[in-house]
Amino acid sequence: MSKDKELEIQLQFLDEAQEYLGTLEAALLGLASSGVDIDRVNAALRAAHSIKGGAGMMGYHTLSAMSHQLEDSFKVLKVQRHSIEVDAELEGLLLTGVDCLRQLIECDRAGTPANQHWLDNHANPIFEQLHERLGEPEAEDASSILSPEEGQDVIPMLFQTEVERLPSSAGVSH
């Protein structure tokens, strides 16, 4: 594939990722006051998952890793929605996580790596706070992520998750 075509595909992905950020924000705004709406959490989960997968395929490893952390937060929120207190602080942390993804998308668009100081002192602490608040999804809860009433087969999702854990052979790193 030519470098021009590769760049075009990467920029198209980054445009799509920007749109997914809008989906994430729409799902999160007002979460503390309105409570956990399963449809909004599902939309956020799909958006974070799409950014994670696309970023991994494009070689944007930092964006993929942080999207994965945000996706995990949504998985926990979905599975444990009845036992987690969603307050303004949690809503703010989730929205700040989205802002971190936005910053990474802009770095990738500019072709520059994210500033390590920013990662260490701003972005990573946000995701650490989310992890402290929510924990991480339990392996045995994986089948609970898809609601039975959705009528979806869990096997393809589990297979895709395992495939994504394999080391990338794309050879492109950002």
pLDDT digit string (tens) for 123-141? 999 999 999 999 988 765 5
- With respect to residue 110, please indicate whether it lies within any of the assigned structural domains: yes
For 3-19, the DSSP string reads HHHHHHHHHHHHHHHHH
CATH number of the domain within which 22 lies = 1.20.120.160
Element (H, E) at 43: helix 38-58
Q: Helix, strand, or coil here: 40?
A: helix
Look up tokens 């009433």; give the residue.
149
Say if CB 157 and CB 146 are below 8 A apart: yes
The answer to whether residue 166 sits within a structural domain is no
How far, in Å, are 85, 88, 142, 156, 168 from residue 80 at the CA level?
A: 10, 18, 12, 23, 31
Please give the tally of structural domains in the chain: 1
30: left (phi over 0), alpha (psi -120 to 50) or beta: left
Is 22 within a domain?
yes
Tell me if 138 is assigned to some domain: yes
State the Cα–Cα distance between residues 110 and 129, nearest whole angstrom.
28
Provide the pLDDT for residue 35.
Answer: 87
Token pair recorded at residue 174: 């950002």
What would the DSSP string read from start to end of 86-107? --HHHHHHHHHHHHHHHHHHHH
The structure tokens listed for 122 are: 């701003």
- pTM value > 0.85: no
Q: How many CB atoms lie within 10 A of CB 36?
A: 15
In tens, the pLDDT along 62-93 reads 999 999 999 999 999 999 988 899 999 999 99
Domain-embedded: residue 163:
no
Q: What pLDDT is recorded for position 161? A: 52
Tokens linked to 82: 């009845």
Residue range(s) defining the domain that contains residue 26:
3-145
What's the pLDDT score for residue 169? 41
**Cα separation, 132 vs 161, whole angstroms:** 23
Q: What is the pLDDT of residue 59?
A: 94
Output the tens digit of pLDDT for each of the chain's 174 residues: 789 999 899 999 999 999 999 999 999 999 999 989 999 999 999 999 999 999 999 999 999 999 999 999 999 999 998 889 999 999 999 999 999 999 999 999 999 999 999 999 999 999 999 999 999 887 655 555 555 445 445 455 555 555 554 544 444 444
Identify whether 152 is part of a domain: no
What number of H helices and E strands is found in the chain? Answer: 8, 0
Q: What is the per-residue pLDDT for 1?
A: 78
Q: For residue 69, tell me if it sits in a domain.
A: yes
pLDDT at 172: 45
Instruction: Please give the C-alpha separations between residue 10 and each of 74, 80, 157, in angstroms, as whole numbers.
Output: 26, 35, 25
